[in-house]
């Protein structure tokens, strides 16, 4: 389903279940296998992808057009959709997309490419998902900038004074629109913390930087994000942020599907014959944030 605005508030799903999937990157077979495993009901359930439906897999075109055709299938805009959108501007932007998995764009007609660019215009940057237990879940591709709250994200529509595609293309831009597509500060801090042996030896400036990046995002119960995949191919929790990109396009990668209400994850991967397989049919509990070392107190 297309939204055509930067931020969208989903209505409460009173009839079925809601599922959130990490970066699919063209791997429709794994996604379909996961939906079958959870007995997804298209009459009442909803699926929200966190962006990066495309590139690095065999089914980019089919996956992106599903969002337009299926009323139960929502998707955020990821940085790969932003690169697709940018590709028609100049040769350098097109080459950037091709180098990052967008080679399939060279194989489709210009008319189809322009239709996809218009489709990407309908993908929001963020959504709020209300749950039956009263919690509110923020859905975003990359991250909320450090120091900002979810209310800043909810205000994206009021900030929408010029076309979104004119504001979200620069990965070095530190604006809100760019950071929700490209930012990696929070997950980099989280992965750094997991490998930290002697936090007491950190410099005061480094310690302060990590503390800031590991703080919860205010104004929302939980945020679910993709974009940066975990090194161990498992979801990562930091404060109230849960990262569920698990590197589907890597040789040992997985695709992760989460049911936010139950906080359970299912993962699919390819076996040695490149056939989709579910790792755990019953799903596993989503990880909880690790306690911070004493040095962070």
Catalytic machinery residues: 80
DSSP class of residue 103 equals: G
Count of CB atoms within 10 A of residue 192's CB?
14
Compute the 3-state secondary structure of the chain and give helix, strand, coil in percent, each to the nearest 5. Answer: 35, 15, 50
Q: Judging by DSSP bridges, how do beta strands 222-225 and 241-243 pair with one another? A: parallel
User: By three-state DSSP, how is residue 209 classified?
Assistant: helix
Residue 211: C-alpha distances to residues 140, 143, 171, 219, 291 (Å): 22, 16, 24, 19, 12
Cβ pair 197, 141 in contact under 8 A: no
Q: What is the DSSP string of 26-42?
A: T-HHHHHHHHHHTT--T
Helix (H) or strand (E) holding 93: helix 91-97
């Amino acid at each position: 389903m297309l939204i055509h605005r930067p931020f969208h508030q989903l209505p409460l799903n009173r009839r079925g279940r809601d599922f959130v999937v990490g970066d699919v990157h063209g791997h429709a077979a794994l996604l379909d296998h996961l939906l079958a495993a959870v007995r997804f009901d298209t009459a009442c359930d909803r699926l929200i992808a966190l962006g990066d439906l495309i590139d690095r897999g065999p089914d980019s075109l089919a996956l992106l057009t599903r969002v337009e055709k299926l009323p139960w299938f929502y998707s955020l805009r990821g940085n790969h959709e932003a690169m697709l959108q940018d590709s028609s501007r100049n040769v350098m932007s097109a080459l950037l997309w091709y180098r990052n998995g967008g080679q399939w764009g060279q194989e489709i007609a210009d008319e189809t490419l322009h239709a996809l660019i218009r489709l990407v215009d309908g993908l929001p940057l963020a959504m709020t998902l209300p749950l039956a237990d009263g919690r509110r879940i923020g859905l975003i591709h990359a991250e909320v900038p450090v120091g900002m709250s979810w209310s800043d994200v909810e205000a994206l529509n009021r900030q929408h004074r010029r076309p979104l595609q004119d504001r979200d293309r620069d990965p070095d831009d530190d604006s809100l629109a760019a950071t929700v597509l490209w930012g990696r500060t929070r997950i980099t801090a989280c992965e750094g913390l997991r490998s930290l042996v002697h936090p007491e030896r950190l410099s005061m400036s480094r310690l302060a930087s990590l503390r800031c990046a590991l703080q919860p995002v205010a104004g929302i119960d939980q945020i679910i994000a993709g974009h940066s995949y975990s090194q161990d191919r498992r979801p990562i929790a930091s404060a109230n942020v849960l990262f569920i990109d698990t590197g589907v396009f890597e040789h040992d990668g997985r695709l992760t599907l989460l049911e936010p209400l139950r906080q359970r994850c299912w993962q699919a991967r390819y076996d040695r014959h490149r056939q989709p397989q579910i790792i755990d049919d019953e799903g596993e509990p989503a990880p909880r944030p690790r306690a911070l070392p004493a040095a962070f107190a």
